[in-house]
Amino acid sequence: MEASKTDSPHILMVSAECYPAAKVGGLADVVGSLPRYLNKGDARCAVIMPHYHNSWITQQEVVEKHYGSFHMGWEWIEYRIFYIVHEELGYDLYTIEIPGKFDRPGVYGDHHEPYYRDEIERNIAFQRCVLHWLMHWEKLPDLIHCHDHHTALIPFMMTRCPEFWRLGNTPTILTIHNAAYQGMFGWDRQYLLPEFSREASGLLDWGHVINSLACGIKCAWRVTTVSENYLHELMETSGFGLQGLFRSEHWKSRGVINGIDYDYWNPAHDHYLTMRLKKNIDKWKRDNKVSLLKELKMPTDLPLHIFIGRMVHDKGIDFLANLIYQYMIYKRDACFIILGTGDGRIEDQCRMLEHNFGPHVRSLIMYNEGVAHRLYAAADFLWMPSRTEPCGLNQMYAMRYGTIPIARATGGLLDTIEPFDGNEGDGFLFRDLEEYQGMWGIESSTRLFKMPELHSLVKGKIMAKDLSWEHSAAKYLDIYHEIIPAKTNA
């Protein structure tokens, strides 16, 4: 590690995404923020990720740290480790260049194919390169922190593959951001893995295939999910076929809610905003709202509802689009702005909303970070009708900017939103994706909007809510300290 904090535990995070280097979803935001907050406390945290050929990575100054090679099945893998020279990150960032695997701009796929056909080969090569590199370290890290199925085979390889004998007593944590993606592949491709004993095959197997995520859950010293309620759901009804495994490994599992980066998500210093927060929250929100809606030629005196996110089934945007259509047939006393990209059919559905309901609905089929920040600052309400939401970050961004969430009661949304009861609370929660429950969300939020004093109190309350990484980082540090001393006795 480049920086030195000699007495602090040395943590290496392994991830397929890390903001600002490469981002597809919330995984990148977590891995891009948590290490910085850990380093503010009692830790020395670094991140290793693939060296994608995207605009951010290719523009950085890099220093080559290591070259290595090995056989993966019948293929000869060569790799280089680069250190990214970037003082503002707040942690050391390394990338692994693997010719033929990650020398593409996309993280998981591109506009030609949503997921690259060699996804399994890429993931295994990346994980093996990480461990191959660690075998050359003079002093090993105190703990390896893996994220999602892309890195979930690392705990198995460290303890069951003789090639990595030096790493067997190093503690591991696996954080699950989304258990729906499990990295499964057939036993006919086990040749991609390092040699392991036949007795260890059961650790890899789940449902007669090799399941990367299930293997990681079995082999990691600790397992965390990105909210307490999501862990409960995984054990009970929403484990994507792994409910029994989550229950059997519950003894070593923790739910730790994500936080948000208060330096980046700061309405007083947000460089995407021309009107930044000074003292008066109501005036600041109103000024941003009027400015944005005038640009979009929308009414400025109605409640403004927004959706920001991927246009996919899990996010419930299809439900919201149908809800908006049904509502707008009868009433025009609210405005809706949708920002995002995804499923082409849902995109077309949202375009038709704008076509049919003119100035009351705008569908921005794109993702633009600056526009997202402006929407959070301008909106009155944010919709998150998610079918599944392990943690959710958008509701936290919204509350930080005084925008009240309307969400389905699932996953981390339950852990972060206190239901509004008419006087107390900070958001609106509904249980099922039923039209009448969605209509309740619109009507309830409209009533609050028409009570300016109460609306102002709720805005002030949610903006004062502590959703930063400080508490979450402290919980991770507790878990680290819980298992790091144990390695000397393992």
Residues of each annotated binding site: 23
Task: Name the token pair of 415.
Answer: 């852990």
Structure letter (DSSP) for residue 264? T
State how beta strands 143-147 and 428-430 pair: unpaired
* Cα Rg of the chain (Å, integer): 23
Q: Determine the Cα–Cα distance for residues 9 and 401; give it in Å rounded to an integer.
A: 35
| Residue that the structure tokens 């909210």 belong to | 227
Q: Determine the Cα–Cα distance for residues 264 and 33; give it in Å rounded to an integer.
A: 10
Alpha-carbon 331 to chain mean position: 36
Neighbouring residues of 203: CB distance < 8 A, sequence distance ≥ 6: 156, 160, 215, 218, 219
Known binding-site positions for ADP-alpha-D-glucose: 23
- In order of 37, 346, 469, the CA distances from 31 in angstroms are 11, 29, 11
Alpha helices, DSSP H only, in 205-274? 212-219, 228-236, 243-248
Residue 178 φ then ψ, to 5°:
-160, 110
| Greatest distance between any 2 Cα atoms in the chain | 70
Task: Name the token pair of 424.
Answer: 């107390």
- 383's torsion region: left (phi>0), alpha (psi -120 to 50) or beta? beta
CB 428 within 8 A of CB 316: no
CB 360 within 8 A of CB 332: yes
CB 190 within 8 A of CB 210: yes
CB 490 within 8 A of CB 169: yes
**Cis ω for the linkage preceding 20 (within 30 of 0):** yes
- If one counts every other C-beta atom within 10 angstroms of the C-beta of residue 172, the result is 24
Q: Determine the Cα–Cα distance for residues 270 and 276; give it in Å rounded to an integer.
A: 7
Q: Determine the Cα–Cα distance for residues 317 and 311; give it in Å rounded to an integer.
A: 6
